[in-house]
Copies of this chain bind each other. A is one copy, B any other.
Amino acid sequence: MADNIWKTAITKIEPNKVVVRGYRIDELMGRISFGEMVYLVLKGELPTPEVGKLIDAVLVSSVDHGVTPPSALAARTVASGGAPLTTSIAAGIMTINQHHGGAIEGCMKVLNELVAHKQQEGLDALTAARDKMAEFRAKKIRVPGYGHRVHTDDPRTRRLFALAEELGVAGEYVEMAHALRQAMMESLGRDLPMNVDGGIAAVLCELGFPPELGNGFFAISRTVGLTAQVYEETTRERPMRRIEPSAYEYDGPPEQSLGSED
């Protein structure tokens, strides 16, 4: 039996005690934000306040993108047949893969490759990016994380990079993300700004997360929007309706400002 014992390093359960990555959950409650908890669970250690704030921002950035992404449509379609809330949310999460959210993982791999090339060859970021961009073009590899079907200048990406600078997290991966944009512009002849997946990729690389967790961060964030999408579908729409992804209108609250920050 002994050698069949398998191991887990996530959570220790004892009667009247739940200890996650070494910390008692009841002690964490009220002390850290949900975003900081995500960092603790996935990284195995508590974030600094600055990193915690950035992770909260990463997770805030991707909660929802309206009714047209495949995740929202799959979740609503499953709900429309009569499935429970959690089954419907699950269907939405199943759409998150290479072509939906997957650019985070893809871009993290590219940034890791470029920074490794830079370090091994003792190059500056732009030279390393130009080298690799030539290689990608020759192999007809499309770089994930740049360009968007709707946004030409994604405000979420802009804000994420600003926060990363402000909070002292921006380092060689963020530098490389900008260098790669420059190298792409030179190579392709047009400017493809980073999308939010690319921005998240750069931040998660700075924080030392493996690319394989990219879809995990997106799933954690998007589960929030999917919960709202499914609840709206079941409370506002009739079952088994034909869900036309283009024939919708927004009728929520008008745009308002948060006001100045202090």
* Chain A residues within 8 Å of B, Cβ to Cβ: 1, 4-13, 15-35, 37-38, 41-42, 44, 53, 55-57, 59-61, 63-68, 70-71, 73-74, 77-78, 80-91, 93-102, 150-156, 158-160, 163, 166, 212-213, 215-216, 219-221, 223-225, 227-232, 234, 236-237, 239-258, 261
Contact = CB atoms under 8 A, between A and B. Distances in A.
Contacts of A156: 18, 25-26, 29
B84 A83 contact: yes
A21 B261 CA distance: 19
Given A6-B237, A12-B255, A80-B100, 5 more contacts: A27-B257, A82-B100, A90-B91, A216-B227, A243-B245
A262 B10 CA distance: 27
* Total copies of this chain within the assembly: 4
Name, among A5, A91, A257, the residue most crowded by chain B CB atoms within 10 Å (CB to CB).
A91
A29 to B, nearest CB: 4
Contacts of A31: 258, 261
Name, among A37, A42, A80, A241, the residue most crowded by chain B CB atoms within 10 Å (CB to CB).
A37
B19 A255 contact: yes
18 contacts: A8-B232, A16-B153, A20-B63, A25-B155, A29-B60, A34-B38, A42-B227, A70-B78, A70-B240, A74-B78, A78-B95, A82-B97, A85-B219, A100-B240, A213-B227, A216-B227, A216-B231, A220-B223
Given A25-B60, A91-B94, A98-B81, A30 B44 contact: no
A207 to B, nearest CB: 15
B87 A94 contact: yes
Contacts of A28: 60, 258
A170 to B, nearest CB: 14
A12 B252 contact: yes
Given A13-B65, A33-B56, A37-B59, A77 B74 contact: yes
B60 A70 contact: no
A150 B13 contact: yes
A63 B16 CA distance: 16
